[in-house]
Each structure stands twice: as structure tokens, then as C-alpha cells.
Amino acid sequence: MYSVPRTISILLLVSFLPILSQESNKLLRRPWIPTATADEEQSYNKIQSKIKNAESFVVKQDRFGRNYKLKANGSIEYILDDLYFKKFPDKDNTSLAYHEALSLSKNGFWLESLHLLEGILFCERISKNNSSHISSIEKLASQKKNEILKSNSDRSLDIFAITDPYGCYVESSLKIESSQYSYTLNLPLDWSWIYFRDKNDFSEKTESISYQVNYLFKKIQEDPPINKTDEEIFLQKYELANKNELFLKEPRILFMIGVTMDQKPIFNQDNYFTFWDNKRGLTDATKRSLKFQRKKNPIGYESKFIQVNSMGLATEIQVKEFYYWKRGKGIFLALSYPSSNQTQADKDWDAILQSFAVKDADVRIY
């Protein structure tokens, strides 16, 4: 009864023995197997070589010199390494700025992403110039903004403080807008934003008044050395290093935007500047030690004082001050700079004041 299956299984085993044994017994190996194996290995090596050498992305730079990946599928991802720095979006390339915002959000920098998205939407409003048309970038930026706001609704107070004001680079200027305080102003292109992640570092709210400060800066361009060899430049740096002056902070021109909202009628147009004197620590004793002087101009004030660094080097610093106050809302603009940069500061300050506007009230200059 069982003889037939047993016979079949024996025959099957015998028929497959050459195949099962040909790897172990070289005498039984068929001549085509080494050739096929070699071809297979060669094909595998070619495929691996192509995969290894294929570029899945290329690294490109935006107009500010920041690196991003342009992937083979067309997607863009910013490289958020030590070389990355924050910039406002460019009106002519909001699409690239949108991908930057996505990269920031993806890597946990959602506040920075939200600030950038506000700037993108500002750029889009400037571009359409009161038109009702909604661009694809405006739609995408709005969706991403709402997504971030929804997922962080418990931090709404932090969000409004850290993401206002926002900005957009338009041709030869940087436009700044505040939705909370309804002002706009323009700056030259070479200004950089100083970003705070903790609202307690730059804002405060009490029962009587709330305030916030924001800063932008630009580096002072030093004149290139004239008729100096590389050896002379090296010796100059060596001498500075010996005096511990090489690593002092580079001098900067600093622009400050301060805003306040009175909950109770404390200040008026005549004494509003005293609030910012207090916040800047300008007591009578401090003013004497700094040799602080202030004079009133047709537009705002000008003050100057002596700043001494850690090495005892003294520099005269000048500050241009502008104060706006109306119906409990105050705005303070200040430009500080070394006296040696007077010409550049005058030019920047004039451009700022000419562009400054408050949407819901007339500007009062005093």
C-alpha cells in the first residue's frame, strides 16, 4: 500500500542529488555555474556603484548665503547647522522661505517657523497690493500657521510676544510690520534680527502697563588695511591677542524697537521717555558715571555717553531717540552707534523716520 509513494520519494531524492551536491562537490559542478555567478556579482557591483555615486540631493545657497538641500524629487530642506542664521523672507522668493519654515517646524523650532510664516504672509500682502487673489504660497503659509497655532494654543501669550513684529525684504529695504501695535517702518537691507525664545527676556506685563523690546543690528564695516602686507596684518592681530583685545565683541550699530500699552493712565506725551530711561537703568547716578547727556531735536532726542569695555577702552556712544505716544499706546525707537559712525547712522535714521507710520493714529513727535 505504501510502496508506490516510497518509490517516488526515493526517485525524487536521487534526481536532485546532483543539484544539491554541486556546491559541495566541485567535480559535479556544471561548467555554466561559475560564469553565471561571476556575471551576477559583476551586475551587483555595477548596481551598487551607481547607487553609491548617484546624488540624491545637491546643496545650494539662498541670497543670504544659507545652505539648503534641493532633493531629486524637487523638495527643499534647509540645513539647520551652526552656519544657519535667521533672516526675514524675501518677497521675490516666498516659496523658498516657506520651505525654510517647514524645516524649522520639522526640527522643533516652531516659534521661529511661525515668525517666518508671519513674514511670508506680509510679503504676499505686499505683492498682491490690495488684490483679492490668494496665491498658492499664501494658502500654504496660512494653513501651516493655523496648524502651529492650534497645536500650541496653550502658549498664545508667548506666541504673540515672540512673533510680533515680523518683516519682509522688498527690493532695497527691509519692511517691518506689527499687527499688535499697528506700525510699519523700513530699514536698509544689511540689518539682522536678534531673536529671543523666552518672552521674559524682552517683555513684561503688569497690572498697570505691558512692554516689549526688539533689537536689530548691523556690523560696522571696517576700512580695509591700506598698503599692508600679510605679515603686517598677522603681527597686528598677534599684538591684539597679547593685549586680550582680539576677541572683544565687534562694534555694532544697534536699533531698538520698544512698545508699551498702558492699562491705567500713567504716562503722557510729556513724560513717556522716563519709562524707557527706567528700563534702560538710566538713573541719576548711572547718568553721572556714564557722562550721559541728552538734548532735544526737532524730531526726538539725541543722547551720548562713554562706554568702557572690559579692557578699559573707552568709546563715545551716541543714541538717536524717537518717542510716540497716544491713547495709552507708546512706541520708542532708538539707534545707538559709536560716534565714529555718525554719517552712516544719520543716513539710516532718516530712512527709518521717513518710513515710520502708525495705522490707527497720527504720529506725534516731541
Instruction: Write down the pLDDT at residue 39.
Output: 65
Question: What's the pLDDT at 128?
Answer: 83
Q: Which amino acid is at 270?
A: D
Q: Does the pTM exceed 0.75?
A: no
Residue type, 313: L
The amino acid occupying position 140 is: L
Residue listed under C-alpha cell 504676499: 124
pLDDT of residue 196: 78
| N-terminal to C-terminal alpha carbon distance within the chain | 118
- Three-state SS for 265? coil
Report d(CA 346, CA 351) in Å as an integer.
9
CA pair distance 286, 276, nearest whole angstrom: 14
Taken in order 29, 34, 35, 39, is the CA torsion positive or negative?
Answer: positive
CB 358 within 8 A of CB 180: no
Domain extent listing, the chain: 57-165, 172-366
DSSP E strands: which ranges in the chain? 57-61, 67-71, 76-78, 166-170, 173-177, 183-188, 192-194, 203-205, 209-219, 252-262, 293-296, 301-308, 314-326, 329-338, 357-358
Helices 94-106 & 110-128, crossing angle to 10 degrees? 160
Confirm if 323 and 366 have CB atoms less than 8 A apart.
yes
What span, in angstroms and rounded, lies between the C-alpha atoms of 100 and 103?
5
pLDDT of res. 366: 29
- List, as one string, the DSSP characters of 172-225: TEEEEE-TTT-EEEEEETT-EEEP-S-GGGTEEE-SSEEEEEEEEEEEPPPPPP
Cα 171–Cα 148–Cα 119 angle in degrees, nearest 5 = 10
Q: How far is 42 from 262, CA to CA, in rounded Å?
A: 78
- CA dist 278 to 86, 271, 281, 283, 287, Å? 30, 12, 5, 7, 11
What are the two backbone dihedrals, phi and then psi, of residue 230, each rounded to the nearest 5 degrees? -60, -35
pLDDT on residue 1: 46
Task: Output the tens digit of pLDDT for each of the chain's 366 residues.
Answer: 444 455 444 444 444 444 444 445 554 555 655 666 666 666 656 555 554 444 588 999 998 899 999 988 888 999 999 889 889 999 999 999 999 999 999 999 999 999 999 999 999 999 887 777 788 999 999 999 999 999 988 887 778 888 899 999 998 899 999 998 899 999 988 888 888 777 777 888 877 888 899 999 888 765 555 566 666 656 655 565 555 544 445 668 899 999 998 877 788 888 899 999 988 888 889 889 889 999 988 888 999 988 876 666 788 899 999 999 888 889 999 999 998 888 989 999 999 999 999 986 544 332
